[in-house]
Amino acid sequence: MLREGLRGPDRASPAEIGQINRVFSEAFTDRYQRDGLSGVRVPLLNPAIWRFAIEHAGDGAMVWRDGAGAIAAFNLAHRSGTEGWMGPLAVRPDCQGRGMGQTIVREGIRRLEAAGARTIGLETMPRTVDNIGFYSRLGFRPGHLTVSLTRAPGGAAARPAAVPRQEIVDRCRTLTEALAPGVDFSREIELTIGHGLGGVTLLTDQGEPSGFALWHTAPLAEGRPGEEARVLKLGARDLDAFRRLISAIERDAVGAGARQVSFRCQTAYGSAYEALLAAGYAVHWTDLRMTLSGKPELPAREGGVLFSNWEI
């Protein structure tokens, strides 16, 4: 039980997506307005994306309630093998200033540590010094940026090759394990394919996986058309494979009906960032990546590239 009648956490239910969505929109709109962006209104997210996020988080999908039983705050704490991250998380504006933010972040940390996460991180807006200070007081330290880069690709479309789901999962797991032992994106891949939210692009060399990308084409915002392929997870054996993977993703995305491709590039991979710029991608948005002290994000091995989106 929390002070002032707030209680939790309870496990989030798909039946509560409407409430969670409203808290998300109100909290982030309020944050932008306090940052001086008075004209920004954060839209409600696509319920299909919320279902994906809640199902992926599992026991880490948490809500806290007010005295009337309405959702006052939530935190989705995710784990991809040994990589743990939180997002999105929010406190309803009228419930802020009561220590709720600290409570939901600390509970996310506790659950991820108990589950064996060796990396614990999150992403926040670089311009928002209040957020950076808040997370810093809870033990998080700023690292590199995640830069969203977009491009409208030309060229011919290609329908992704028909590969059995289990083979896709196995090949992606094999390459991810080689790049970052312990990290595993299998659950995200299975949920994406199972819910029809997007697809996976695979590269192989002599039968061995050399690159993969998990992307969503389901619209992020509620009521918007699905015209963008958003690359959420990506692994490449080396820079050459990464460059070839860019072209393969574009062909698959156009084949899936996307008019634009978006990468969320971690700038720790400077050569990959330069490769995207050289391919014609333009910077669209930035997020600051922060990791808990003692639970850092480790780079991919042997010159590889590993992008892991910490947002939905």
pLDDT in tens, 93-141: 999 998 999 999 999 999 999 999 999 999 999 988 999 999 999 999 9
Give the chain's length: 312
Determine the Cα–Cα distance for residues 232 and 308; give it in Å rounded to an integer. Answer: 6
Summarize the chain as % helix, strand, coil (round to 5).
35, 30, 30
Residue 40 confidence (pLDDT):
83
Q: Which of 200, 206, 197 is nearest to 165 (CA)?
A: 200
Q: Which residue has the tokens 């996307």?
A: 258
Q: Which of 183, 252, 253, 240 is nearest to 211 (CA)?
A: 240
Taking CA atoms, 17 is separated from 62, 63, 126, 130, 270, in Å, by: 12, 11, 28, 27, 37
Tokens of 281: 């991608």
Residue 1 confidence (pLDDT):
44
How many other C-beta atoms can be found within 10 angstroms of the C-beta atom of residue 294?
A: 10
Q: Which of 147, 50, 55, 64 is nearest to 102 (CA)?
A: 64
Residue 160 confidence (pLDDT):
63
First to last CA, the chain: 29
Q: Which of 81, 85, 312 is nearest to 187 (CA)?
A: 81
Determine the Cα–Cα distance for residues 163 and 170; give it in Å rounded to an integer. Answer: 11
Residues 287 and 307 sit within 8 Å (Cβ to Cβ)? no
Determine the Cα–Cα distance for residues 190 and 187; give it in Å rounded to an integer. Answer: 5
Q: Are strands 305-308 and 140-151 parallel, antiparallel or unpaired?
A: unpaired
Residues lower than pLDDT 50 in the chain: 1
Residues 77 and 209 sit within 8 Å (Cβ to Cβ)? no
Residues 92 and 73 sit within 8 Å (Cβ to Cβ)? yes
Determine the Cα–Cα distance for residues 94 and 272; give it in Å rounded to an integer. Answer: 42
Residue 225 confidence (pLDDT):
84
Determine the Cα–Cα distance for residues 305 and 211; give it in Å rounded to an integer. Answer: 9
Output the pTM of the full model: 0.94
Residue 73 confidence (pLDDT):
98
Residue 3 confidence (pLDDT):
53
Residue 37 confidence (pLDDT):
76
Return the amino acid letter for 189: I
152 backbone dihedrals φ, ψ, rounded to 5°: -95, 100
The alpha-helical segments, DSSP class H, found in 150-309 are 165-179, 186-194, 239-255, 270-278
